[in-house]
Amino acid sequence: MGQSDLEVLIDMGFERPRAELAVKKSGGLQGALNWLEENQDKPLEELQSAAAAAAEDEEEGGPSIATLEGADAKSLLCKECGKRFRNKELASYHASKTDHTDFEESTEEIAPLTEEEKKARLEELRQKMLEKKANKALEEKEEAKRNEKIRQKSTKEVQDIKEELARKEQIKEAEKKRQEKLADIEAKKRIKDKIEADKQERKRKAEEAKAAREGRAVQAPAAPVAAASAPRPAVSHNEARLRLQLPSGNVVKTFPADTTLFEVAAQLEAENGQAVTSFSMNYPRKTFTSGVDFGQTLKEAGLVPSAVLIIK
């Protein structure tokens, strides 16, 4: 036993409610194929609502012209273009697409499709469905690519922000360590001065006690004989004059002695746009590496009062 028109449409992949509507509207496989092709982009709910409304209008309406004349209407004819339609739905769809409004009922029946024509229409409809699915898959793929680009851009921006925050935090940490070292040096100096002052005070009291026991006056400390005999004060260098050999050329810069190598590298990077990974000296041969030695001040690194550094 052959398949019904509804079963053929379901086997082609159409959902049952849409296929049932197509068969009901057209009355045969040929009309169903036409109806499905013309309404393939419409939602099922919209088609069902339109069918229900049409059924109500049909119940409320009077007999058609062809019925009054004693003949059954087999089709609808568009008098503007001459096309025939099997039912009102197809004619209405044609009117919505072409703005044609002059239709009349006809007793001429639209010839049914031959088996070869049915197969050809089925194959054509299958191809259109496959093409539609392929286009949809392509659109989804392109949309996924766009979303991935947006995600990658967002990820890169977040990463750049994190790196910038980390760099600022590193500079802040280096400055904090430098301040702690300065505070430690000042504290040690104050302790040393206090110890020296206490020592001198004890010595003075011991001299006074000895003089009192011996019944003599305490002699005041002798003033320096001449300025020339005074000890020569140690030279304190507060700056470092650096000759920096960069890939783009040599530059000379002066920094405070308590500037860290990290701060020097950060300034060079800001000025030249090139990251600094190490400072090298030819004599004495020494290399200061990022992440290991950049926490040292120029004074601690022995670069005061002047030095020549090769930048890499």
The pLDDT, as a whole number, for residue 65 is: 42
What is the distance between the alpha carbons of residues 27 and 244, in angstroms, rounded to a whole number?
92
Mean pLDDT of 89-105: 82
CB 23 within 8 A of CB 10: no
Model confidence at 135: pLDDT above 80: yes
The pLDDT, as a whole number, for residue 14 is: 80
What sign does the dihedral 270-271-272-275 (CA atoms) show? negative
Cα–Cα distances in angstroms (integers) from residue 149 to residues 142, 203, 242, in the given order:
11, 81, 46
Among candidate residues 222, 217, 259, the one with its CA nearest the CA of residue 242:
259
Structural domains for the chain: 5-114 (no CATH), 238-311 (3.10.20.90)
Tens-place pLDDT, residues 48-73: 787 777 666 555 544 444 443 444 66
More confident residue, 285 or 4: 285
DSSP summary character for residue 181:
H
The pLDDT, as a whole number, for residue 70 is: 45
What is the distance between the alpha carbons of residues 15 and 12, in angstroms, rounded to a whole number?
9
Residue 157 burial by Cβ neighbours in a 10 Å radius (0-12, 13-18, 19+):
exposed
Strand partners, 245: 250, 310
Tens-place pLDDT, residues 181-232: 888 898 889 899 989 998 999 998 888 888 888 777 656 555 544 444 455 5
End-to-end, the C-alpha distance of the chain in Å comes to 87
What sign does the dihedral 59-60-63-66 (CA atoms) show? negative
The pLDDT, as a whole number, for residue 62 is: 44
CB 104 within 8 A of CB 79: yes
The pLDDT, as a whole number, for residue 104 is: 86
Tens-place pLDDT, residues 228-251: 445 555 556 789 899 999 888 888
Express the helix, strand and coil content of the chain in percent, nearest 5 each.
55, 15, 30
Tens-place pLDDT, residues 139-172: 999 999 999 989 888 888 888 898 888 888 889 8
What is the distance between the alpha carbons of residues 106 and 69, in angstroms, rounded to a whole number?
11
Model confidence at 255: pLDDT above 50: yes
The residue type found at 286 is K
What is the distance between the alpha carbons of residues 269 and 163, in angstroms, rounded to a whole number?
15
Q: What's the mean per-residue pLDDT of the chain?
A: 80
The residue type found at 231 is P
